[in-house]
């Protein structure tokens, strides 16, 4: 596991991300993690049974598809909360930078197991 440094600037943290769909924790407060993720393409359908998920687009555009409601398109500066228990799939046609705020306990792909899944140890390895 490659180690990196801890950042205090969002864009520096984005630039240090090695891969798409590999969130990195940049701050912790009140049992929540603030994460940065660089995404491109389709993620996987998943839900977080007990955790809401806050998305803020820093650069590019992100679509959040839902099974049971209209999709939401987020552009730079737009934010959105995916409610707990609701199945969703993030999709980005082009590279998109996303800030996430979610409980430390949140699993990357919820209860869905995927090759793309990153453990919380992987998301925090650069801080150790």
Single out the residue of 17, 25, 56, 98 in contact with a second copy (rule: CB under 8 A). 56
C-alpha 80/C-alpha 73 separation (Å) is 9
Nearer of residues 43 and 97 to a second copy, judged by Cβ? 97
77 touches a second copy by CB under 8 A: yes
78 touches a second copy by CB under 8 A: yes
Task: Characterize 105-116 residue by residue with b for buried, 16 or more Cβ atoms within 10 angstroms of its Cβ, and e for exposed.
Answer: ebbbbbebeeeb
Task: Say if CB 34 and CB 10 are below 8 A apart.
Answer: no
Residue 5 phi, psi dihedral angles, 5° rounding: -100, 165
Nearer of residues 39 and 53 to a second copy, judged by Cβ? 53
51 touches a second copy by CB under 8 A: yes
19 to 58, 70, 86, 96, 116: CA distances (angstroms): 17, 29, 26, 12, 11
Single out the residue of 17, 25, 26, 62 in contact with a second copy (rule: CB under 8 A). 26
63 touches a second copy by CB under 8 A: no
**Total residues contacting a second copy (rule CB under 8 A)?**
25
Output the six-digit token pair for 47.
Answer: 């839900």
Helix or strand or coil: residue 19?
A: coil
Single out the residue of 1, 29, 49, 115 in contact with a second copy (rule: CB under 8 A). 29
Nearer of residues 14 and 21 to a second copy, judged by Cβ? 14
Interacting residues with a second copy (CB under 8 A): 8-12, 26-30, 32, 34, 51-54, 56, 77-81, 101-103
């Amino acid at each position: 596991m490659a180690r990196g440094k801890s950042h205090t600037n969002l864009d520096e943290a984005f630039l240090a991300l090695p891969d798409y769909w590999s969130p990195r924790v940049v701050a912790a407060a009140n049992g929540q993690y603030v994460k940065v993720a660089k995404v491109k393409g389709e993620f996987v359908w998943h839900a977080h049974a007990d955790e809401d998920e806050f998305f803020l687009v820093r650069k590019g555009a992100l679509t959040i598809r839902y099974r049971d409601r209209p999709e939401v398109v987020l552009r730079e500066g737009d934010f959105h909360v995916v409610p707990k228990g609701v199945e969703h799939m993030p999709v980005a046609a082009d590279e998109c930078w996303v800030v996430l705020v979610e409980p430390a306990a949140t699993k990357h792909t919820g209860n869905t197991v995927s090759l793309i899944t990153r453990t919380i140890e992987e998301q925090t390895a650069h801080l150790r």
